[in-house]
Amino acid sequence: MTDHASQRIVVQATPQHCFETVLDVERLPEWAPDIKEAVVLVRDDEGRPGDVSFRAAAMGRSTSYTLRYSYGSNPLRISWRLIDGDLLERMSGEYEFLAVEGDPEATLVVYDLDVDLLIRLPGFVRRRLEAKVVHAAIDDLKTRIEVGVRST
């Protein structure tokens, strides 16, 4: 069974700044509490992360997985898919950073994630895990970006 999470939030920073914050995957452990390590294994021709290895806390244990990042024709969109993982069967997702009409210093952040775990979990555990992942992906990202914008 695939679990899907989708969220939108307005962040007080430019779309480019939001994109660059997410693109800096090696600093992810600084603002996403469950990510313990992120190592870029491969970069594309533009120096952006391609394959990234992660170590994270999950369900009371450590998990490892590798994602392959992709960049399409939209310059402010990042997508990824699982290429290897010990607890995950499948994972894909994306961030898209859209300008907010009338406010050049604001961005609509759109986040989508699809996950299939290798182990079956009760519904309430899956929902709690999903809420934690979305919180880091959206709320912790917003805090990281907005605090960074105010301090510059």
Which domains does the chain carry? 3-151 (3.30.530.20)
Q: What is the pTM of this model?
A: 0.84
The three-point CA angle 74-18-152 to 5° equals 140
Measured CA to CA, the distance from residue 114 to residue 45 in angstroms comes to 27
Strand order in the sheet with 35-43: 3-11, 103-117, 88-100, 77-85, 61-70, 49-58, 35-43
CA–CA separation, 25 and 100 (whole Å): 25
Per-residue pLDDT band for 2 (boundaries 50, 70, 90) equals: low
Look at residue 66 in the predicted model and tell me its pLDDT.
Answer: 95
For the CA atoms of 61, 115, 142, 49, the dihedral, rounded to the nearest 10 degrees, stands at 90
What would the pLDDT profile of 20-45 be if each residue is shown by its tens digit? 999 999 999 999 888 999 999 999 99
The 10s digit of each residue's pLDDT in 34-85 is 899 999 999 999 999 999 999 988 667 788 899 999 998 888 999 999 999 8
